[in-house]
Amino acid sequence: MFRKMVACAAAALALVPVVSTPAYASPADLYPAQVLQLTNSNRVQNGCKPLTADPQLAVAAQAHNDEMAQYRYFSHTGRKGENPAARITDAGYRWAQWAENIAAGQRTPTAVVDAWMHSPVHRANILDCSLREIGIGYSLDSAKKAYWTQDFGTPRT
């Protein structure tokens, strides 16, 4: 009787589809989506539509973020003198309007969005209802200090 139960259980398990999930998702994989969700929550609470993630803005944000982390500096101006508009354009985004928020040192998405919301200039970017899309970068430097970038845009029509 026991052998029949084991055989039936094994047959039943063979019919269950196997779903592969990564054993570990790094903060770099999870944090940008969490920053987007928190940013959009603040926008909706303040009467703006949610932002849509844009891959070209994400490339611009992540590249700037990686550079700041690699060379351990903090600025809207890149090491070669480029400004956010140039980086966003170089990433292929055709913009009518853009804005950028950067931060360093905050360990979590909640902490960085909270810091931006308590800074008048950064808050104004997040709550600018005319901005429609976003790319988010997250990086760690060699000392494990976090760097964050939000590149916002409204596409040219």
Which stretch of DSSP H or E encloses residue 100?
strand 95-104
- Give the integer Cα–Cα distance in Å for 147 and 107: 9
- Give the integer Cα–Cα distance in Å for 116 and 109: 11
Whose CA is closest to 99, among 146, 29, 31, 48? 48
Sign of CA dihedral 85, 90, 95, 96: positive
pLDDT tens for 4-52 read: 433 443 443 344 344 444 566 787 889 999 999 999 999 999 999 999 9
pLDDT tens for 89-126 read: 999 999 999 999 999 999 999 999 999 999 999 999 99
Is residue 81 left, alpha or beta, with left meaning phi > 0 and alpha meaning psi from -120 to 50? left
pTM of the model: 0.84
